[in-house]
């Protein structure tokens, strides 16, 4: 990670001190980013880093929560780690049943992306018990290629279909790599990560280095831009020694350039040459920026914040500028839940409702990379309210997908989602 001195006052337990950049060993030491100047997240005018001893978590970890790893190039909003921890606990209470992540809105089914989201959260919040339960569940539902079957149906309204989904697989693989550093005494995390990374490369990357959407379909003619996670692929290359992953990084940025358009509103589904397509959807949303594509700003912007990739910043600047044009310093109400690539309201219901956390959280991460402090602060404040305050009790606000991306984005925007292998 690119780190620099932050020069920010933090409250660590009851002790006030000025934060610099704490590298390497982790422990109880963390580092804060630079505040945006306005109090968000209920934290007042100063960041608050809670004492790790005040949070229930796994003993003996390399990086006890919170860490607050600073970046020399991406500044954080004002935050309080009590809020981040509470957001995770709220998510866990509603969606983790002790063995798996469920989607209450879909008959309590389980999808591999949810397992991946949960594993990412758990490793960064230092919750080894939850992490191990989720990874055990994934292994129980192997699709025969060393990947998790994407859909495990339950009640009425559940998912259906077989095969693996690449986004869930890569999130699990990255989480396992982080676990190998977070809890290094358990060697199975590193071996599990290597096996999963190799399976992804074998079954979910095509011959032209395009990330496929699954192990049984897609490629250059049908792919999902929101699955592209170049910061992961750098870590995968380092962990396995396989430089092909760096070719996947290069191809991913070629695709992002082709699909970004004027505003960064990438399609949900596209060809590698940049044409929006229907993909496997049946509602006409495939060529538009919707509930798949909304994740793209997070995955791309993190490659700038963690690795300084200028192409990532270019994309983040596009989408952040668009979101900023639809919001203000006091409200995100003008940001909608879908757009055409030209920034218009699509046909059908997509784009007819105010955006939830799956849009706003990644928007905030992009704003952080783009240096747009106003958008960064108002999106963080909105996500904070939706994950920890009265807003989360409203119907649809704290649903599985929105809540997952809300918590992941809070972790990223507070320096608690980083590459532990660096």
Specify the residue for token string 């599985």.
Answer: 400
113 labelled catalytic = yes
**What is the reported pLDDT for 46?**
85
**% of the chain surpassing 70 pLDDT:** 89
Tens digits of residue pLDDT in 397-419: 999 999 999 999 999 999 999 99
In a domain, 422, yes or no: no
- Helix, strand or coil, per DSSP, at residue 197: helix
> Rounded distance, CA 187 to CA 209, Å?
30
Tokens of 136: 């055990």
How many domains does the structure of the chain reveal?
A: 1
Whether residue 204 lies inside any domain: the answer is: yes
pLDDT given at position 216: 97
Q: What is the mean pLDDT of residues 161-181?
A: 98
Q: Which two tokens stand for residue 407?
A: 């918590």
Cα 361 from Cα 341, distance rounded (Å): 20
Encoded tokens for 28: 């109880």
User: For 73-83, what is each residue's pLDDT tens digit?
Assistant: 999 999 999 99
Read off the pLDDT of each residue in 306-327 and give the average, rounded to a whole number.
98
CATH code: domain of residue 298: 1.50.10.10
What's the pLDDT band for 302 if we cut at 50, 70, 90? very high
pLDDT of residue 7: 27
Please, what is the end-to-end C-alpha distance for the chain in angstroms?
6
Can you read off the two tokens belonging to residue 352? 């007819």
Catalytic residue among 80, 113, 143, 215: 113
Give CA–CA dist 336/348, Å, rounded. Answer: 14
Gap between the Cα atoms of 143 and 375, Å rounded: 41
Residue 288 pLDDT more than 70?
A: yes
Please state the rounded mean pLDDT for residues 42-50. Answer: 74
- ∠ Cα 277 282 284 (to 5°): 55
* Confidence grade of residue 327 (pLDDT, cut at 50, 70, 90): very high
Which residues make Cβ contacts (< 8 Å) with residue 331, sequence separation at least 6?
378
Query: Is residue 150 scored above 50 in pLDDT?
Result: yes
- Model confidence at 19: pLDDT above 60: no
> Closest Cα partner for 127 from 97, 169, 85, 167?
85
Q: Write out pLDDT tens, residues 91-137.
A: 999 999 999 999 999 999 999 999 999 999 999 999 999 999 999 99
Given the residues 80, 167, 171, 386, the one annotated as active site: 167
Q: Is 170 a catalytic residue?
A: no
Strand order in the sheet with 15-19: 15-19, 8-12, 47-49
Structural domain of residue 65, as residue ranges?
A: 8-412
* Contact by Cβ (8 Å): 174, 186: no
- Residue 395 has a pLDDT of 86
Give residue 204's pLDDT band: very low, low, confident or very high (50, 70, 90): very high
Q: Is the pLDDT of residue 86 over 80?
A: yes
Q: Exposure string (b/e) for 330-344, b if CB count within 10 Å is 16 or more?
A: eebeebbbbbbbeee
The answer to the question of residue 418 being in a domain is: no
276: β partners: 270
Please tell me the predicted confidence (pLDDT) of residue 325. 98
Is the pLDDT score of 29 beyond 60?
no
Q: Which of the residue ranges 25-34, 181-190, 351-360, 383-392 would you say has the lowest mean pLDDT?
A: 25-34
- The torsion angle over the Cα atoms of residues 406, 407, 412 and 418, rounded to 10 degrees, is -140
More confident residue, 70 or 379: 379
157, 175, 335 from 194: Cα distances, Å: 35, 12, 40
Q: How many CB atoms lie within 10 A of CB 97?
A: 12
The Cα–Cα gap between 316 and 66 comes to 26
Indicate if the pLDDT at residue 259 is higher than 50: yes
- Asked if residue 419 is part of any domain, the answer here is no
The mean per-residue pLDDT over the stretch 379-383 comes to: 98
Alpha-carbon distances of 201 from 28, 96, 209, 240, rounded to whole Å: 36, 29, 9, 11
Residue 30 has a pLDDT of 33
Inter-residue contact 226 to 299 (CB < 8 Å): yes
Mean pLDDT of 252-260: 98
Determine the pLDDT at residue 45. Answer: 65
Evaluate whether residue 3 is within a structural domain.
no
- Let me know if residue 420 belongs to a domain: no
Distance CA 299, CA 288 (A): 18
| pLDDT-based confidence at residue 21 (cuts at 50, 70, 90) | very low
Q: Using CB atoms within 10 A of its CB, is residue 45 exposed (0-12), middle (13-18) or buried (19+)?
A: exposed
Residue 417 in any domain: the answer is no
Task: Say which range, 1-10, 119-128, 135-144, 257-266, has the weakest mean pLDDT.
Answer: 1-10
pLDDT exceeds cutoff 70 at 256: yes
For residue 365, tell me if it sits in a domain.
yes
Mean pLDDT score of the chain: 90
């Amino acid at each position: 990670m690119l780190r620099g001195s932050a020069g920010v006052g933090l409250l660590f337990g009851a002790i006030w001190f000025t934060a610099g950049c704490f590298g390497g060993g982790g422990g109880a030491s963390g580092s804060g980013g630079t505040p945006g100047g306005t109090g968000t997240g209920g934290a007042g005018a100063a960041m608050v880093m809670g004492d790790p001893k005040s949070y229930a978590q796994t003993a003996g970890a390399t990086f006890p929560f919170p860490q607050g790893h600073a970046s020399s190039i991406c500044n954080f909003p004002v935050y309080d780690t009590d809020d981040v921890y509470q957001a995770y606990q709220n998510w866990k209470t509603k969606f983790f049943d002790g063995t798996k992540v469920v989607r209450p809105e879909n008959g309590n089914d389980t999808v591999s992306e949810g397992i991946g989201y949960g594993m990412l959260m758990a490793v960064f919040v230092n919750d080894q018990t939850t992490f191990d339960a989720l990874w055990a569940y994934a292994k129980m539902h192997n699709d025969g290629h060393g990947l998790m079957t994407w859909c495990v149906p339950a009640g009425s309204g559940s998912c259906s279909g077989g095969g693996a989904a690449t986004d869930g697989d890569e999130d699990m693989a990255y989480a396992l790599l982080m676990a190998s550093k977070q809890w290094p005494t358990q060697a199975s995390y590193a071996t599990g990560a290597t096996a999963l990374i190799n399976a992804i490369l074998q079954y979910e990357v095509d011959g032209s280095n395009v990330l496929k959407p699954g192990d049984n379909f897609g490629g250059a003619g049908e792919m999902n831009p929101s699955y592209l996670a170049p910061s992961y692929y750098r870590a995968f290359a380092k962990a396995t020694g396989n430089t092909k992953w760096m070719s996947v990084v290069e191809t991913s940025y070629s695709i992002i350039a082709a699909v970004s358009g004027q505003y960064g509103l990438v399609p949900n589904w596209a060809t590698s040459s940049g044409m929006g397509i229907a993909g496997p959807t049946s509602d006409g949303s495939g060529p538009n920026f919707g509930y798949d594509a909304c994740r793209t700003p997070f995955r791309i912007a993190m490659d700038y914040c963690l690795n300084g990739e200028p192409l990532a910043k270019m994309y983040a600047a596009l989408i952040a500028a668009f979101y900023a044009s639809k919001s203000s310093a006091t409200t995100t109400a003008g940001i909608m839940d879908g757009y055409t690539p030209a920034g218009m309201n699509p046909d059908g219901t997509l784009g007819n409702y105010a955006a939830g956390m799956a849009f706003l959280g990644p928007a905030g991460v992009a704003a952080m990379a783009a240096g747009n402090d106003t958008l960064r602060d108002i999106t963080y404040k909105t996500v904070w309210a939706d994950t920890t305050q009265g807003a989360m009790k409203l119907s649809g606000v704290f649903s599985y997908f929105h809540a997952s991306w809300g918590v992941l984005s809070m972790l990223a925007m507070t320096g608690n989602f980083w590459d532990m292998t660096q």
